[in-house]
Amino acid sequence: MTRRRWRLAHRARARARRSRGGGGTYGRGRSYRSGSLYKPARSLRPGRLVAGMAVIAVALVAVAGIVRQIGPQSGPFRRNVDRSFAVLAAPLARTSSASGRTLGSMMAGAAGMSRAELTGTLRLLVSQTSSVDQAMAALVPPAPAGGDAECEGAMAKRASAMVRIETAIEGLLGGPTGTSRSSQSSAVAGLLSAGSLLTGSDRMWAACRHQLWVGPGSARLPGSRWVTDPSLWTAGGLSALATQIASSPSLAPVDRLVLRATALTPPPVSIDPAGAAVMPPTGSVLVRVVVADTGNVQQKSVTLTAGIATAASGAPAPSSMVRSFAGNVDPGGSVAVVFPALHLGKATAVTLVVRATSAGGTTVTEQLPLEVAPPAG
């Protein structure tokens, strides 16, 4: 067979195979022959597909973990945290600064204040500084890049200093009852320690502001200083202040307990010209008494007694006395007490005797004459 005939026969056999389905197409309509090197890739087996997907899933989890670790350290995140902290801390700083100004005014004019005004201002400042301290501590997490410890520490020092200032000045005043004065030297020592805390708090707040300013967010906080006159917080300045407070006439204790009102049940039908209460026919009477503290110190453990005295006895018989405990009465406050029924007996003219006594020895007595009609029948 010649070479030309062989080529023709080969082409004929190839056309026959294609017509019988022995070949196919590859790619964009291109033909391929059986046994050709250019065959389509085999599809993945199910097991190999699952294994590949598992590897990809593990890789994605690892990447997500890395992103979570990097996210909080990223610049935008830190800037937002710092600036948010500054927005929330700024009102607290202004409130603290206002409290510092109030303290300065109080220290300058303490000797001319009333006892109630001075002690009330101290209680207010203690409450305010404690609230600011708690609010500042609640601002984190998340913490800013820097300065949060100094910010919180500054407010904590101010709260602690105010407690020491209140304790020292209350000691100079003799405490709530005015009877337990501390020495001036111990009061000055307490004020000196408070001044040291306030000076330290000013430094910490300045450091807090600086660290936030140089941090990622360049956040700004308002200034806040409590010690504007360092000479006031020296030993000499505080000794002079302690002397003024201890010797101030307006701060001297005033011990005054009064019985303001007495109400009777049944009520009197009239008051005679001599001031006696004319009672309806009854064998007993209920007494309601109001005891008040009109001084500037607390009356502790006030006890009230009431009894009926006849003209013959001149004083209530011990067996007729009833007792009631009113507790502590603060300056400007009052307590109402209702006694059990007091028996009047058969006398037509008696005297109601009410007495209030405090633990400090203050005693006040009130007497009310009663004219009693005998019971009907």
What is the pLDDT at residue 64?
43
pLDDT tens sequence for the chain (377 residues) = 566 776 777 777 777 776 665 554 444 444 444 444 444 445 445 555 445 555 545 544 453 444 344 444 556 877 888 888 889 999 999 999 999 999 999 999 999 999 999 999 999 999 999 999 999 999 876 666 666 688 999 999 999 999 999 999 999 999 999 988 999 999 999 999 999 999 999 999 999 999 888 888 788 999 999 999 999 999 999 999 999 999 999 999 999 999 988 899 999 999 888 888 999 988 889 999 999 999 999 999 999 999 988 865 666 766 567 888 889 999 999 999 999 888 887 778 889 999 999 988 889 999 999 998 766 65
Q: How far is CA 214 from CA 168, 209, 226, 281, in A?
A: 40, 9, 24, 88
What is the pLDDT at residue 330?
92
Would you say 173 and 251 are in contact if contact means Cβ atoms under 8 Å apart? Answer: yes
What is the pLDDT at residue 21?
56
Tokens standing for residue 216: 């990622």
Q: Mapped to the 3 state alphabet, what secondary structure does 255-307 carry?
A: CCEEEEEEEEECCCCEECCCCCEEECCCCEEEEEEEEEECCCCCEEEEEEEEE
250/253 Cα distance (integer angstroms) = 8
What is the pLDDT at residue 40?
47
CB atoms within 10 A of CB 325: 10
Q: Mapped to the 3 state alphabet, what secondary structure does the chain carry?
A: CCHHHHHHHHHHHHHHHHHCCCCEEECCCEEECCCCCCCCCCCCCHHHHHHHHHHHHHHHHHHHHHHHHHHHHCHHHHHHHHHHHHHHHHHHHHHHHHHHHHHHHHHHHHHHCCHHHHHHHHHHHHHHHHHHHHHHHCCCCCCCCCCHHHHHHHHHHHHHHHHHHHHHHHHHHCCCCCCCCCCHHHHHHHHHHHHHHHHHHHHHHHHHHHHHHHCCCCCCCCCCCCCCCHHHHCHHHHHHHHHHHHHCHHHCCCCCEEEEEEEEECCCCEECCCCCEEECCCCEEEEEEEEEECCCCCEEEEEEEEEEEECCCCCCCHHHCEEEEEEEECCCCEEEEECCCEECCCCCEEEEEEEEECCCCCEEEEEEEEEECCCCC
Would you say 33 and 26 are in contact if contact means Cβ atoms under 8 Å apart? Answer: no
